[in-house]
């Protein structure tokens, strides 16, 4: 119905979405109920990202253009990316 296609995953049974820019295959280790939400914890078994969204071997957020879920039916798509020095 979505028009998306799929192909086999490497380590888990559910297939991967072929049109995705990155994939993370996980095995659920725990889930905890918090009010009307459920927190899911998992172990990463395999991960892959397309070369077209990397620069010098690292994820390039400008190329990836991720979509973030905000609340309810609201998503964040076109946002300004800023870099800040991290202090340890």
Tell me the per-residue pLDDT of 29-68, one tens digit each, with 9 for 90 and over: 999 999 999 999 999 999 999 999 999 999 999 899 999 9
Q: How confident is the model at residue 78, as a pLDDT?
A: 86
* Intra-chain end-to-end CA distance of the chain, in Å: 47
Q: Is the dihedral of CA 1, 45, 64, 76 positive or negative?
A: positive
Question: Which residues fall within 8 angstroms of residue 72, CB to CB, at 6 or more apart?
Answer: none
Tally helices (H) and strands (E) across the chain: 1, 8
Architecture of domain 6-76: Roll (2.30)
pLDDT surpassing 90 at residue 79: no
List the domain boundaries for the chain. Answer: 6-76
d(CA 22, CA 26) in angstroms, rounded, equals 13
Q: Give the span between the Cα atoms of 35 and 70, in whole angstroms.
A: 18
Residue 55 is predicted with a pLDDT of 96
């Amino acid at each position: 119905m979505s028009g998306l296609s799929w192909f086999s995953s490497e380590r888990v049974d559910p297939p991967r979405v072929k049109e995705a820019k990155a994939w993370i295959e996980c095995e659920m280790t725990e889930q905890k109920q918090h009010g009307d939400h459920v927190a899911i914890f998992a172990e990463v078994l395999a991960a892959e990202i397309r070369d077209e969204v990397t620069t010098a071997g690292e994820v390039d957020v400008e190329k990836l253009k991720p979509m973030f879920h905000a609340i309810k039916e609201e998503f964040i798509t076109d946002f300004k990316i800023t870099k800040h020095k991290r202090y340890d």
